[in-house]
Amino acid sequence: MATRDHPAAVDADAVVIGAGPAGLWAAFELGLQTLAVHVVDSLPHAGGQCAELYPDKPIYDIPGVPVCTGQELAHHLLQQLQPLQVPLHLGQTVAELHADRTGQGEGWRLHTAQGMTLRCRALVIAAGVGAFVPRPLAVPGLEAWQDQQVFYTDPPPDVWLDRHVVVVGPGEAAVRLALHTAAHGAARVTLLHRTDRFTIDPALDDELQAAIGAARVHLCLGQPVAVLSDPDGRLLALEVATARDERLSLPVDVLLPRLGLHPRLGPIAEWGLAMERKHLVVEPSTLQTSTPGIYAVGDVAHYPGKRKLILCGFHEATLAAWAIAERLRPGQRIPLEYTTTSPRLRALLGADAP
Ligand SMILES: Cc1cc2nc3c(=O)[nH]c(=O)nc-3n(C[C@H](O)[C@H](O)[C@H](O)COP(=O)(O)OP(=O)(O)OC[C@H]3O[C@@H](n4cnc5c(N)ncnc54)[C@H](O)[C@@H]3O)c2cc1C
């Protein structure tokens, strides 16, 4: 069901932006309406905030599930979606939205920053607090080397082969990357962090200490404050302020900041949809935004009495899917069916498969 290959263009009845709990549930409900639905998310995995911000923390207020972690909830939602074969386009950030009057009547054309195009007749924005993007390393002028010597996503191995790599960050992503580059051909790997305490589990900490002990990874404690470059404009070193307020020069060929991700609503705020304090204003019985055919559900949606809870997102996603089915099938009655008893829904879900 979750495809990682990204076709150049797809046509769908509905596209859902965001594979958080609200987006995954919208895809499920749209699938039950036998609408062709595609889901797009900027993260490399589904689950939104639950998977990204609190994968191991327990959630106690999903009705019928006394307790599950953020990651378990994402897993269960994907499992539930599985029979409906909804394509998930992960690692794709929707950057542009255009009205599309070609094809089957009025619709929408979306472009992702990674080069994918999707056309649809209805759009569900389930973007939560926004697309998760890497937190930048705040050193003046550093952006000049982005994607040349400074990489916020993992570059191919030949970039670091035989090079002096500096990984910056406090957590698992930074530590794993330091260990990985050290084990795969970097000339020297330095892990740069303010303190010698990392927010990692004990097993990974043991691995890190062993690598430091064997001089496979070098630890540098301090805060980068400036860059040093050569006359050809090549990044040569970071100037690092230590805890004792000394300055040291740390040579660098390849800089890999891994400071975590932060959400940005980004282009969605520029699509001309009515907004209230960075949220999309919707009509609560259909979840339609100020533009007909565009719906918003979950944390990104705003209406009087809105509560940012997962179960509210599920309810909104359900109402939006019904409203979309009615919009795309004008004049047709959309009957209420129970998954327990409806032969049509049971067949869709593979419930009677041997
Ligand atoms: C620490 C913590 C604990 C919480 N605990 C609970 C709890 O116990 N119970 C509860 O009900 N709620 C809890 N919440 C809130 C809950 O996680 C949110 O209400 C829920 O995740 C909202 O779901 P969503 O699908 O609307 O958005 P999100 O989960 O934010 O998912 C949105 C997705 O959209 C993607 N996206 C955004 N913009 C784009 C774009 N342009 N292109 C592609 N993809 C995009 C993002 O990458 C993201 O994956 C908690 C939140 C936090 C931070």
User: Over the stretch 137-148, which tens digit does the pLDDT of each residue have?
Assistant: 999 999 999 999
Tell me the average pLDDT of the chain. Answer: 94
Q: Which of these three, 223, 239, 259, is where a domain ends?
A: 259
Whether residues 24 and 123 fall in one domain: yes
- Give the nearest ligand 1 atom to 43 CA: 47
State whether the beta carbon of 47 lies less than 6 angstroms from ligand 1.
Answer: no
The answer to whether residues 275 and 218 belong to one domain is no
Domain of residue 255 covers 136-259
Tell me: do 249 and 270 sit in the same domain. no
- Domain termination site, one of 240, 259, 278: 259
Whether ligand 1 lies within 6 angstroms of the CB of 33 is answered as no
Q: Whose CA is nearest to atom 7 of ligand 1?
A: 59
Position 176 scores a pLDDT of: 96
Indicate whether 140 and 241 sit together in one domain. yes
Q: What's the 3-state SS for the chain? A: CCCCCCCCEEEEEEEEECCCHHHHHHHHHHHHCCCCEEEEECCCCCCHHHHHCCCCCEECCECCECCEEHHHHHHHHHHHHHHHCCCEEECCCEEEEEEECCCCCCEEEEEECCCCEEEEEEEEECCCCCEEEECCCCCCCHHHHECCCECCCCCCHHHCECCEEEEECCEHHHHHHHHHHHHCCECEEEEEECCCCCECCHHHHHHHHHHHHCCCCEEEECEEEEEEECCCCCEEEEEEECCCCCEEEEECCEEEECCCEEEECHHHHHCCCCEECCEEECECCCCECCCCCEEECHHHEECCCCCCCHHHHHHHHHHHHHHHHHHHCCCCCCCCCCCCCCHHHHHHCCCCCC
**CA 51 to ligand 1 centroid distance, Å:** 9
Using the 3D structure, point to which of 231, 259, 287 is the last residue of a domain. 259
**Band (243; pLDDT cuts 50, 70, 90):** confident
**Which of the residue ranges 115-119, 310-314, 350-354 would you say has the lowest mean pLDDT?**
350-354
Q: 94 and 143, same structural domain?
A: no
* Domain match, 223 and 331 both: no
What's the domain count of the chain?
Answer: 2
Q: Is 308 in the pocket of ligand 1 (CB under 6 A)?
A: yes
Q: Which atom of ligand 1 is nearest to the CA of 41?
A: 44
In this prediction, residues 28-34 reach a mean pLDDT of 98
21 CA distance to ligand 1 middle (Å): 7
For residues 116 and 211, state if they share a domain.
no
The CATH code of the domain that includes 219 is: 3.50.50.60
- pLDDT value of position 121: 96
- The residue nearest atom 30 of ligand 1, judged by CA position, is 128
- What pLDDT is stored for residue 6 in this prediction? 47
Mean per-residue pLDDT, 179-184: 96
User: Does 4 map to a domain?
Assistant: no
